[in-house]
Amino acid sequence: MVWAKVGTGAALAAAAGLAARYAVQRERLERSWLHRVDQKLSAIGEVEHLSILPLVERLVPDVGLDGEPGVSYLIRADDTTLLFDAGLNSSGKARSALVRNAENLGIDLRSLDGVVISHLHADHVGGTMNMLRRTFSLSADALEPRGLPGYVPAPMRHERAAVELTTGPRVIAPGVAVLPPLPRMLFWAGPVAEQALVVNVRGFGMVLVSGCGHPGIERMLAATEVVLDVPIRAVVGGLHLPVHPGAAYLVQAILGSPHWPWRPIGEQDVAEAIDAIRTRGPRMIAVSGHDSTPWTFGAFERAFGELYRTLRVGEELVVA
C-alpha cells in the first residue's frame, strides 16, 4: 500500500516535471525562433537541373526496394550530389535499407559531395544509437569517406566525416543552401532544432526540402523568405502531420507532437499547412509518408491536385 502510494507520487512528480519543462521551454523557444533568422543570403546562385530521389521513405512502389519510417533523399543539383538525412536503420543492420535501396537504384553512396542532417532524431541520423551518441551513419559499416562534409543543425560528431554546425544561413554549393536551424519544443521528446535545405532552380524558383517539419511549415516558409528573396515554388519532404494516426503512426503522433498531450496533431494543423503553402503559389508539393498519414495525403491531394505527390522510395522528382 505504502509502495503503491510512493509509486503514484513518483509518477505524478515525473508528469509535473515534464509539464513544467514543456511550459517553460516552449515559451522560450516560441519567442526565440524568429531571432535566429536575421541574416540574409545575398546570392545563393542557381542550378539548371534538380533531382530529388528518395532512398529511404516509409512507402515503396514495388518489390525490390525497402521501406522504413525514416528519411533519406539523394539531392542532385547540377554537379553537386548531397544526401539529405540518413534514414532510420532501426535494427542497426550492416547493410541498411538506405544502402540496399541505393544499390538497387544504381546509386554509389561513396561519391557524395556532402551529407545534410535535418535534425538529431533517430529516423534521420540512421538509428537510435546514433541519436544518443550525437552522430549519423549511412549504415553500420563505415561508408562515409574521410573528410566528407556533414552539415548538422546541432552539435554532433563523426569519426570520419567533417562535421560543420549550421549557425546561420549558408550556401553549401552553387544554388544550394542550408537555412538556420529552427527550434521547437516537443512535449515528450524535448527541444529539437531542425534545418531545411533549399535549392534555387533557374526559371522555377526555390525548392524547400524538409526532414520532419517539426518547426511547422508556416515558420519554415517564413524563415526562408527572411533569408532569401527567391519565391518558394516547391515543398518536398516531412511535414509532421500524422493526423488520425492509427497504430502505424502512433510513435510519430505522440513523440513528435509539439502540443500538450490532450491536443493531438489534427485536421486544423493540416488546413493551416495547406494555406501557408498555397499562398506561395507552389508548382510542386511532395509529402513524406514517414510522419504524415494517408488522411493527410488525401487533404493535400484535394488541395493541390496534379501538383501533389506522395514520396516513395525510388520515385524521383525532377525540377528543370
Which is nearer to Zn ion, 123 or 144 (by Cβ)?
123
CA 282 → CA 19, 52, 179, distances in Å? 38, 17, 19
Q: Is residue 176 near Zn ion by the rule CB under 5 A?
A: no
Least separation in angstroms between CB 174 and Zn ion: 28
Least separation in angstroms between CB 103 and Zn ion: 23
**What is the dihedral angle through the alpha carbons of 105, 106, 109, 110, rounded to the nearest 10 degrees?**
170
Site for Zn ion in 64-93 (CB under 5 A): none
Q: Is residue 243 near Zn ion by the rule CB under 5 A?
A: no
Stretch that binds Zn ion, among 52-60, 146-154, 209-217, 269-277 (CB under 5 A): 209-217
CA 153/CA 101 separation, integer angstroms: 26
Least separation in angstroms between CB 250 and Zn ion: 14
CA 115/CA 83 separation, integer angstroms: 5
Site for Zn ion in 287-316 (CB under 5 A): 291
Stretch that binds Zn ion, among 150-158, 210-218, 221-229, 269-277 (CB under 5 A): 210-218
Contact 264, 270 (CB under 8 A): no
Stretch that binds Zn ion, among 122-130, 133-141, 155-163, 302-310 (CB under 5 A): 122-130
> Count of CB atoms within 10 A of residue 210's CB?
25
Least separation in angstroms between CB 305 and Zn ion: 26
Least separation in angstroms between CB 215 and Zn ion: 11
CA 276/CA 299 separation, integer angstroms: 14
User: Site for Zn ion (CB under 5 A): which residue of 121, 219, 280, 312?
Assistant: 121
* DSSP count for the chain of H helices, then E strands: 8, 16
Q: Please, which residues have CB within 8 angstroms of residue 222's CB and are 6 or more apart in sequence? A: 34
Strand partners, 21: none
Which is nearer to Zn ion, 76 or 121 (by Cβ)?
121
Supply the DSSP string of 204-237, one letter for each residue: TEEEEEESS-TT-HHHHHHHHHHH--SPEEEEEE
User: Site for Zn ion (CB under 5 A): which residue of 57, 66, 78, 123?
Assistant: 123
Q: Is residue 212 near Zn ion by the rule CB under 5 A?
A: yes
Binding site for Zn ion (CB under 5 A): 121, 123, 212, 291
